Structure 1
């Protein structure tokens, strides 16, 4: 039986994804908006990837990968059309997914490793940890093929696959004071990243150490610290989320539609947000920007998690992927009751 706390956590995270992208369109100052951005980006995608690992399976592997390929091709095209329509078209590239599309390509690579994770779980945890910390040493680790992000965030996927369900069960019975204390402890290093004026490029995971202009040793130390900070925040999130059913739970269950469609809303709102907050970044404006983006993120996530949009990104792509998989792996589909 699926743990509803997993969906609540995914719901919280997908709201933070939308929130973070709205903040970038507002523009970042040196105050509250920058603080919120740093805290969110230091853990929200690692946590999202961790939860993707929890639900990852090696069954119907071709079908799962084909689904991601179809979604990547379709939405890369749709985003190109949308941004060209507003006069800000990106340079087309199949090897360098645009903006949020990197996650779909990374999911393809991570999904391919699932059979090995299931066969050698502890070994892959150790290997992925080393790879994640040392990925920045590789000169070819960059945005192309989402290689850098795939390697940097791979430990979160592997640990989620191997230990995610156990951690969900372990944190379920924590008393309230433990949950609150855990959130406070996890928040402190996130705040420290802001105080230390951490370059946001570190949080994206998209560049190697040469790109980040640090030595290999310093880069590995920084990446190791960022990885530990993110894992601490993930643990606190799992402990904090309640076992309830509600709108956030539904957003979590249908987070894929929110993720894929919210970029269009952000693009549409960008001119209005930029103009509205163009007057300056006083304390009141900073608070207003964060509050407005927070409410907007919740509303956008709620609307984009409605059944029609969820159906669009789930049923047709999965049916097409299943049809393709049945052609290339008929025996495997027969064994799985397809």
Structure 2
């Protein structure tokens, strides 16, 4: 851009950049958002065995699936803005993402074989199962962050990649690359956001407008349930694999992104910015995310969702409440202490320490804390 070019407002005094809290505390807004999003994830998974007999529940399922993972991914991208190839950050990427992926992918495979009873379930680190796809995707997205920060128009490029993936059935299931690539624009959007963007969507006019937006989304979802393949919300298949013409892939990528972004903004507008009783649980959302999968799969295997009375309105409300309570329990500090060895292993023995890193740790303004890593991961 030429220095001689002038634009309206160019000579205005720029606003000072947003700064983190002076006392180093976590931002309550993001912890609240992560907790509420993981509760919606657990509720959505609990609805899967029930939604076949209820059109309203299927509509609610579609609305939730349209924005709960995009919201998580946007926040993950936002907290990845400072990632570079510095050794200490690469180490945290390995201990905070790669190690939990390996351990939980192995644990889920063993769980399927010996508890659920799927003798053909093999351990494969190249084929993420159930919930572990997010860790695999986060590793790829985080590793490519320096590239997205270097190019001039990262979001259009991410859209192009996602649209090409949606028409490429040959990608296959390795590393769940369809999801990695089709969800990529949400991560890149998070990289492009600034604190003022989150303040913008939390204004009262946006909060009020979000009410009819969600109501309209629910009505549209109720209408579309018998007419639309809900697999589009999962972003794990190409258009051809879903039985649609190839050109539907790029169209649906754009349409789903528009819908998800509007609903995600509405969701963020309702998230409280102050500290609440569940704010502290936001630091443990990755625990709740990975652990609740065992509960859901075991419940399906044991027939917990089979009683006919659970498929009525009162039963669906009860299951929803229990799912929220379960994932809340799994985010608490005692559970985190038990499973920290798998989620946040130290592994100092596996890495070399250089002089620059030691100097940063001795500095009172040293880089990211361990808790900030949890915020970025989940």
- Same fold per superposition (TM over 0.5): yes
Matches within 5 A, 1:34-53: 34-53=58-77
Which of 323, 328, 342 aligns to 1:297? It is: 323
Match of 1:149 among 175, 179, 185: 179
Trace 1:311-322 onto structure 2 (pairs within 5 A). 311-314=337-340, 317-321=343-347
> Corresponding residue for 2:239?
209
1:64 matched to 2:96? The reply is no
Q: Report how far residue 334 of structure 1 moved.
A: 4.3
Q: How does 1:14-163 map to 2 (within 5 A)?
A: 14-56=38-80, 57-59=82-84, 60-67=88-95, 68-89=97-118, 90-120=121-151, 123-163=153-193
For structure 2, the 5+ residue unaligned runs are: 1-20, 363-378
Q: 1:52 to 1:241 in 2, by over 3 A?
A: same
Can you list the C-alpha shifts for 1:112-140, whole angstroms capped at 9, x where unaligned? Answer: 111223333x5212211222233212233
After superposition, the Cα gap between the structure-2 partners of 1:159 and 1:187, relative to the gap in structure 1 and judged at 3 Å, is farther
What is the distance in 1 between the residues matched to 2:109 and 2:183? Answer: 26
Residue 146 of structure 1: how far off its partner (Å): 1.5
CA distance in 2, matches of 1:336, 1:142: 43
Distance 2:89 2:156 in 1: 24
Query: 2:196 corresponds to which residue?
Result: 166
CA contact (8 A) 1:209 1:216 kept: yes
Larger relative CO (CA 8 A, sep 6+): 1 or 2? 1
Alignment of 1:257-272 (within 5 A): 257-270=287-300, 271-272=302-303
- Taking structure 1 as the reference length, what is the TM-score of the superposition? 0.88
Taking a change above 3 Å as real, the CA distance of residues 310 and 304 of structure 1, as seen in their structure-2 partners, is same
TM-score if structure 2 supplies the norm length?
Answer: 0.79
Instruction: Compute the displacement of 1:192 (Å).
Output: 1.8
Q: Which of the pair is proportionally richer in helix?
A: 1
Q: 1: CA distance between counterparts of 2:103 and 2:183?
A: 24
Rounded Cα–Cα distance in structure 2 between residues aligned with 1:322 and 1:167: 37
**Aligned counterparts of 1:317 and 1:23: Cα–Cα separation in 2:** 27
Aligned pair partner of 2:277 in 235, 242, 247: 247
Q: Secondary structure at the match of 1:337?
A: helix
